[in-house]
Structures are given as structure tokens and as C-alpha cells.
Chain A
Amino acid sequence: MALGGGGNTYPMQMMDTVQDRVRARDGAMRLLNRMTTGAAVSALVGVGVLGAVSAHTIPGATSTSTASTSTASASITSSSTSSSTSTSSSGLQSSTTPVTSSSSSGVAVSGGS
């Protein structure tokens, strides 16, 4: 070849290996795409399913349970439109100030650990 680096053309048996390698890579690429898509769909569905399961196990409809360090609980009222207070011992809000929907750091006591 005029400019080639001296690489010869492949003999026939090596060509078959090349073909196999190329086919295998293609198959693997397809598998990667399918698995990625599958994972994404499963993850989205998972958020929904697990969110629903979590809603079922610890729903937000009622208020408190006594908080303890090992049992995770949060006191949340079911109302979302108006400000409201909650009664909780180690909850998120102080029992005196109304809830405001803002991203302030709040005035409540620090959560126990």
C-alpha cells in the first residue's frame, strides 16, 4: 500500500474471527441499551410503587405517634392548603408557630438523633 503502515489484509480464518467479534460487540451494545432503558423504566415505576407502599405503611393522614429514636416518624397534618399546627414531640415544627410553606430554616427544635 502507498501509505499503509505495512498491515497486511487479514487471511480468511482471521476474518471470521473479526466477524464474530463485530457481531458480539453489536449484540452487547444492544443489550446495554435495552438494560439501560429497562432500568430507567423500572426505577420510575419503582418510585411510584415504593411511594405507594410507603404511603400504605406510614400514611400521612393522621398525626403523631410518640417519637423515639429508632422508630422513624414525622408528624404531618393532612391539610395542605392552610397553615396549621401540629403536635409532636420531636417533630418538624414548633407547636406555637403556624406552618409556612417556605424554605426557611424554621424555628423548631433540632431533631433528635
Chain B
Amino acid sequence: MSRLRLLAGPDLAAGAERLHSHVGRLGPLPKGGHSLIELLVRTELAGRGGAGFLAGLKWRAVAHASRGSAVVVANGAEGEPHSKKDRLLMSTRPHLILDGALLAAASVHAKEIVLYIGEEHHSALRSMTGALAERTAGERRLIRLARAPARYVAGDSSASVHLVDAGIATPTTTPPPTRERGVGGAATLVQNVETLAHVALIARTGAATNTVLVTVAGAVRAPGVLEVDTGIAVGDAVQLAGGPSEPPRALLLGGYFGRWIEAADAWSLPIDPPALRARGLSLGCAVLGVLPASQCPVCEVAGIMRYLASESSAQCGPCFFGLRALADACTRIAERGTDAGDLQRLQRWSAEVQGRGACKHPDGAVMFLQSAMKTFGDDFAHHPAHLRRSA
């Protein structure tokens, strides 16, 4: 396993690493191509965008479908509110990402690279543009920038392709998949920026990387982004973030499309995608959200459901009306206290919505809610009314 870490090098507070420092540390850009794809397959690099799909297999599929006109989209939109890892990586190690994108373009025979960066993530935008200016003319010709609107679904890979292709960042219905027909009808590789950064290291060492970027959020003393060794326990990662700021109740693993786990069970979980999959879990976008015991889980879940409902792109009834129904029911429990029909309503509407959306947004929200109802079953069943003033 390689010893290289994504965030090694100059102090992160110094901002974007310059090209000479990057090349000085790591050596010049290696060659991409078929052998790199095979290397990625062998090292089993998993995507860091949330789905965890094996990068090598995706590259292989795009290379196969490419007719020399493929497109690479480096997805740094980071629509998940609490996630900060992609922004940090772009702001401090932009050349790793550019390297990875160029290697991808060479390997899948792409003629264009698009850097998809959140329009409000100014530091990331500045850093990536600055880094681009340092590259060779040939490299600069291939790469352009696209700004992602600041909406949750804008970070979805089909939304990124839709924005780059047609100028509107709404998710699209899947068949055919974007790896076969994406931007301008060409095979398109959409890859998270952290994944591309890992590729830049793997291509240089010929070995797998063994670190993961996680964002620790919620009731911890020093929330923020950490680069941790694969396999480290969640509890250790939380300690690295200063430890809980008050007694913890549960962990939300993977952001708003993730799963709730009781703190006692969560702390021993390994931060390792295959190991988590074996437990029926997923690292997702690698946000570790710590919920303190002092916070009401039902109220938290209701708030997140309201957010997810408001982020629906209104392209299909099940999502727009269904998530609103679920958010309403959760809010009712949160505000007025549980009554007999509420839990049935949640079950019923969840079943109505699941699998019926035009994209994956409603499914993500429903699975988040179902996980909450499982982990916080008692809280949902016996929630008292809170006397609240509107915030």
C-alpha cells in the first residue's frame, strides 16, 4: 500500500499548492491509458462521490463506449450541506485533481474535461482556476469550468451532465446511463474530485491509496475534514475531530441519504467501504454527523426531511408531493406529538414514494427516513409535543 496521502505537503492553511511544489513532491504527470484502467480495477478504487461504484469499472465502460469524443466531468459540486472534503481538496490540492482528470481523459479517450464546481464555493473556484493557469497550453485547451448551482440535486451525476450539456442542473431519468450517452451524446465519465485525486497518487505509485477524506460534523469539538487511514474506527475519527462536545446519541453516516446508527454501535464501525457494505451500510459522501443526546432525533429528522422535500426538482409527483407528505407527517409528530395515525402515515407514504421517482432523490430521502424510524423507533412512537417558537 502506498504511503502517499492526499493532504500531505504544504500546510493546508497556506491555500492552493502550486504546481512546482506538487511536481517537486510527487514527480511529473504519469501516462494514462489502458494499463492505468487495469491498475484501478486491481486496486479496487471506489468512487468517493457517494455511490461508491468501482472507478476502474466505470472507466472501462466509458473507454469502451468512447469513440474518441468522450467527456470527463470532474464533479466537485458538493451539494451535501455538511460535506466539506471536496471543497478542501480543491482549495488546497488542485493539481492532484487536475492530474486525475487528465489521466482519466487520456485513459477513456476523452476530448474534453469539465470541472464542475459549486458556484458559491469561491475559494475552490479560485484555486482550481489558478492551478489551471499553471498547466501547459495543451492541458488548458482540454479543460473548462462549469459552475454548479447551489442546490442539493445539482451534485447528482446526471444533473452535472445535464448542466454541462444543456445548461440546466436537474437530474435526468437514467436509461441510457451517462457513461454511454452523456454530454453531447458522447460517453461521459463523471467522477468525484476526491476519486480523481486518488487516481493521481495511484498512477504514480502503482499501488492502492489507503486513506479516506471524511467530514466530521455535528456535536464535536473540532468539526471539519480529516484524512484518515482506511479501516480506522469511526470513534477514532471522531476523537481526531476533538471528540464529542457532549454525550452522543447517534451517528448519521453518509449525509442526508445515509443511515442512522446508535452511537454505541457506530463508534466501532470501520471507515472502509467494503467492510461497511458487508454490514449493509455505506460510507456515502463520508459525512459523519454526530447527534448529541440533548438533541431530539425526531425534530432533527423532521428538519432534514423538510430540507430534502424543498430540494425536490419537482419533475415528478412522487418526489414533490410524496416527500412533502412525509416531511409534513414528521413535522406533525415533532410539533404536536405522536398520534395514532402518524407512524402508519409515514410507513404508507414511504412505500408510495419508493421506486417511483424519476431520479434517485426521493429514494435517498425515504431510506434516510426509514433508517431514522428504525433507530429512533421509540422516540417516534412516543414523541411529546415540544412548545416551540418559530425560529
The reply to whether chain A is a binding partner of chain B is: yes
Number of interface residues of B (CB under 8 A): 36
Distance in angstroms between the alpha carbons of A9 and B64 in the assembled complex:
50
Distance in angstroms between the alpha carbons of A21 and B331 in the assembled complex:
12
Contacts of B295 in A (CB 8 A): 1-2
When A6-B81, A9-B390 are in contact, do A1 and B331 touch as well, CB less than 8 Å?
A: no
Find out whether the CB atom of B341 lies under 8 angstroms from the CB atom of A10.
Answer: no
B331: which of A6, A12, A18, A29 is its contact (CB, 8 Å)? A18
**Nearest CB on A from B80, distance (A):** 10
Find out whether the CB atom of A11 lies under 8 angstroms from the CB atom of B390.
Answer: yes
Contact code string A57-73 (vs B, CB < 8 Å = 1, else 0): 00000000000000000
- Residue A111 is within 8 A (CB to CB) of chain B in the complex: no
- Residue B199 is within 8 A (CB to CB) of chain A in the complex: no
**Nearest CB on A from B369, distance (A):** 14
Contacts of B303 in A (CB 8 A): 1, 4-7, 9
- Residue B217 is within 8 A (CB to CB) of chain A in the complex: yes
**Nearest CB on B from A29, distance (A):** 7
- Residue B291 is within 8 A (CB to CB) of chain A in the complex: yes
A7: which of B218, B219, B292, B310 is its contact (CB, 8 Å)? B310
Find out whether the CB atom of A7 lies under 8 angstroms from the CB atom of B217.
Answer: no
Contacts of A8 in B (CB 8 A): 390-391
Contact code string B310-351 (vs A, CB < 8 Å = 1, else 0): 100000000000000100110110111000010001001000
- Residue A15 is within 8 A (CB to CB) of chain B in the complex: yes
Distance in angstroms between the alpha carbons of A15 and B337 in the assembled complex:
13
Contacts between chains A and B (CB distance < 8 A), count: 77
- Nearest-neighbor residue (CB-CB) of A4 within chain B: B303
When A9-B390, A15-B335 are in contact, do A4 and B329 touch as well, CB less than 8 Å?
A: no
The interface size bin for chain A is 20 to 34
- Nearest-neighbor residue (CB-CB) of A29 within chain B: B348
When A10-B390, A18-B332, A25-B325 are in contact, do A5 and B81 touch as well, CB less than 8 Å?
A: yes
Distance in angstroms between the alpha carbons of A2 and B345 in the assembled complex:
26
Find out whether the CB atom of B304 lies under 8 angstroms from the CB atom of A19.
Answer: no
Find out whether the CB atom of B328 lies under 8 angstroms from the CB atom of A22.
Answer: yes
Contacts of A11 in B (CB 8 A): 390
Distance in angstroms between the alpha carbons of A18 and B334 in the assembled complex:
12
Contacts of A15 in B (CB 8 A): 331, 335-336
Task: Name 17 A/B residue pairs within 8 A (Cβ), A-sorted.
Answer: A2-B295, A3-B218, A4-B303, A4-B304, A4-B307, A6-B307, A7-B304, A7-B310, A9-B299, A15-B331, A15-B335, A18-B331, A19-B332, A19-B336, A22-B325, A22-B329, A26-B345
B-to-A contact residues, CB < 8 Å: 81-82, 217-219, 252, 256, 289-292, 295, 299-300, 302-304, 306-308, 310, 325, 328-329, 331-332, 334-336, 341, 345, 348, 388-391
A-to-B contact residues, CB < 8 Å: 1-12, 15, 18-19, 21-22, 25-26, 29
19 more A-B contacts (CB under 8 A) besides A2-B290, A10-B335?
A2-B218, A2-B291, A2-B300, A3-B304, A6-B303, A7-B304, A9-B334, A9-B388, A9-B390, A10-B390, A11-B390, A12-B390, A15-B331, A15-B335, A18-B328, A18-B331, A22-B328, A25-B325, A26-B345
